Amino acid sequence: MAERIEQEEIFSQVLRAGRRTYFFDVRATKADDYYLTVTESKKFTHDDGTFHYQKHKIYLYKEDFSDFHEMLKKATDYIITEKGDEVISERHQKDFKKEEIVETEFEEKSAQNFTDVSFDDI
């Protein structure tokens, strides 16, 4: 099985976004043409304090740049038009704590399962 050997980066940019990091790397093909890799790296922390990174990568070649750019712009414009540019998910707030969601979800489930009982019925 042949392994893909990553080419050295010719140009690179990094976008840090919370526990995700995005890498935009320009690389060269064997024919010395350029292509782009976009890598999302997400940090996961285990209960014992150790951590690992999960990475997802896409390869984007010049012949797809125009269509990719157009579709990305349409999709992002749609999101901004429909929902605005303010982040509305509390999970994305800088001061978000996972425990708050767990408590809220528990309270919501408890409220859903609550039966209104009149003591006059007992």
CATH number at residue 83: 3.10.450.700
Flag whether 65 is in a domain. Answer: yes
Flag whether 1 is in a domain. Answer: no
Which pLDDT does position 1 carry in this prediction?
46
Number of structural domains in the chain: 1
Domain that holds residue 40: 11-114
Which pLDDT does position 118 carry in this prediction?
47
pTM of the full structure: 0.61
Which pLDDT does position 55 carry in this prediction?
95
Whether 62 contacts 34, CB under 8 Å: yes
